[in-house]
Amino acid sequence: MKTFQKLLIIILFVHYSCSDDMGIQDENQQLESNLKENVNVASRSSLKPIGTGVMMQAFYWDVPAGGTWWQVIEGKVQDWSNAGIDAIWLPPVSKAQNGAFSMGYDPFDYYDFGQYNQMGSTETRFGSKSELESLINEAHSARLSVIADIVINHNSGGDLEPNPYTGTPYYTDFNPLSGKFYRSNADFHPNATCNSDSGVFGGFPDLSHCQPYVQDWLWKRSNSVAKYYKNVMGFDGWRFDYVKGFEPWVVREWNNSVGGFSVGEYWDGNAGTLDWWSGEAQSSAFDFACYYRMRDAFMGNNLNRLNDDMLWKRNSTKAVTFVANHDTDEIINNKLLAYAYILTHEGYPTIFYRDYEEWLDKGRMNNLIWIHNNLAGGSTNVLYTDNDEYVAKRNGYNNAGLVVYINNSNSWKERWIETNWSNTRIKDYTGNSNWEPVTQGGRWVKIQVPPKSYSVWAPK
C-alpha cells in the first residue's frame, strides 16, 4: 500500500508539473499574441489621469443575466467619458462557482473570462472573454481607465478533499480548466504555515496569502493574476473586495508588483481606521465614514453630521467617496443632495450605475460632474451648518473654487457668506437660482438655495 501511495504521489507530481509547464507555454504564446493584436495596453498613454474626473461603478447587484452586460456597458463608455467620467469599475470578471448566474464574488478560475465550459457555462453572467476585451478596448478608446474588482479573500467551487490540518474534508481542491493556479488544502487556512488571517467570509475556503505559492500566482510570477489582468487583459487599476479578510500588506505587495490605481473596500465607519488601513496598504479606500455621516445627515435631517470626521478630511488623496454601491443603498431621500456634497468636496467621487442611468436626473448628475471637474479645486472650509443648511467653500486650485449651499428644508433659504472673491459677479452653476449677485469689496455676498436642493456658486 505504501509503495502504491508513493507511486501515486509521483504520478500526481508529474501530472501537475507538466500541466503547469504546458500552462506557462500556452500563457507565453497567448501573451505574445495578445501583445501583438490587443490594443488594451498600447492605448493607455491617452487615458485621462484617474482622479481628475469621476469613477463610474458600471454594474449593480443582479444585473441581467444572459451574457449581455459587457455589450451594454460598451455602448455607454463614450457618453460617460463625454460627461466627465475618467474610469469605470467592473464587477469580478472571472468564472465563479455559480457560473452564468454568479455576480463573480465566489471566484473559481481567475483566468476564465468566459471562454471555458466549466461551472455550468462557458460565458460568465456578463458575457464572453472576447466581449470583455472589446469593452476594455472601447473604454480605452474613450480615454477611460478600467478598474478590475479583485476578490482574493476567498474562493468557491473546489472539489471535496481530505484536510490533514483539520481532520475533516473540505472543498479546497481547485482544478481550473485554464490550467493556471491549481489550489489544494495547503493553499487555504488552516495549513502547515499559518492557521488563519484577519477573517473568513461566508464559510468559503479562506485563501492563505502567507503561502509563497499563493503569492506567486496572485502577483509575483510573470503570468500571475495581477500581471495577466494588467498586461494581457488591459486593466488599469484594482478595487479590492473585503480587505478586512486579510492583512493590508497583501494589497501593498500587489500594488508594488504591478502598480496602477487601487482602492480597498474596508467596510468601517471610523475615519481613523480607514486612514490607518490606507496607509498600511498604500492604497485608496472607500470613505465609509463619509457615507455613514451623509446617511445620518440626509436621512436623519441633521446636516450638522457633515461636520464629523471623514477619511477625505484626513487624507483626501486616498478617499474614494460614494453615495451608493452594489452592497449598500441607504441614502434614499435627498440622494441628489448627497451627490452634490461628494461632487463639490475633496476626494475621488464614485457614481452608482443605477443612480446615473435609471433613478436620478441625468442632466443634473452631468451638471454636478462638470462642476466637480471644472470648479471643485483646492482645500475646503465649512462656512455654516445647522440641521437644515450646509455651506462650504473650495478655495480653488488652478480654478476659482466654489461655494456650495445645501438645503434640506422645505423652504427657500438665503444666507450671507464670505467668499474668496472681491467685487466679482457670481452665479449658480446648477441653474437652481437665477441670482447673479456681485460680491462686496470685503468678499461677502448673499446667496440662496431652493427647498430640498442645492446651489453652487463661482465667478461668472
User: Are residues 433 and 300 part of one domain?
Assistant: no
User: Are residues 217 and 87 part of one domain?
Assistant: yes
Strand-pair category, 159-161 with 54-57: unpaired
Of 374, 403, 419, the last residue of a domain is 374
Higher pLDDT: 1 or 250? It is 250
- Give the model confidence (pLDDT) of 14-38 as tens digits: 344 444 444 444 444 454 444 444 5
pLDDT over threshold 80, residue 404:
yes
CA atoms within 13 A on the CB side of 207: 28
User: Are residues 280 and 386 part of one domain?
Assistant: no
Q: What is the residue whose three cell numbers read 508513493?
A: 6
User: Are residues 425 and 290 part of one domain?
Assistant: no
- Give the model confidence (pLDDT) of 290-317 as tens digits: 999 999 999 999 999 999 999 999 999 9
Percentage of the chain lying above the pLDDT 70 cut: 91
Nearest to 193, CA basis, from 212, 206, 218, 174? 212
What average pLDDT does the segment 267-285 reach?
A: 98
Of 326, 341, 374, the last residue of a domain is 374
Report the distance separating Cα 155 and Cα 201, nearest Å. Answer: 10
User: Are residues 385 and 368 part of one domain?
Assistant: no
pLDDT at 143: 97
User: Are residues 226 and 262 part of one domain?
Assistant: yes
Domain containing residue 213: CATH number: 3.20.20.80
User: Are residues 252 and 351 part of one domain?
Assistant: yes
Count of structural domains, the chain: 2
User: Are residues 350 and 431 part of one domain?
Assistant: no
The DSSP secondary-structure symbol of 300 reads T
Of 374, 408, 440, the last residue of a domain is 374
Nearest to 285, CA basis, from 263, 270, 259, 317? 263
User: Are residues 248 and 123 part of one domain?
Assistant: yes
User: Are residues 87 and 65 part of one domain?
Assistant: yes
Nine-digit cell string for 22: 504546458
User: Are residues 389 and 367 part of one domain?
Assistant: no
Does the reported pTM lie above 0.95? no
Nine-digit cell string for 364: 443634473
Nine-digit cell string for 231: 498586461
Whole domain around residue 91: which residue ranges? 2-374
Domain containing residue 396: CATH number: 2.60.40.1180
User: Are residues 328 and 443 part of one domain?
Assistant: no
Long-range contacts of 389-393 (CB under 8 A, 24+ apart): 389/303, 389/413, 389/415, 389/449, 390/297, 390/303, 390/306, 390/341, 391/415, 391/417, 392/344, 392/345, 393/417, 393/419, 393/420
- Give the model confidence (pLDDT) of 202-239 as tens digits: 899 999 999 999 999 999 999 999 999 999 999 999 99
pLDDT at 326: 98
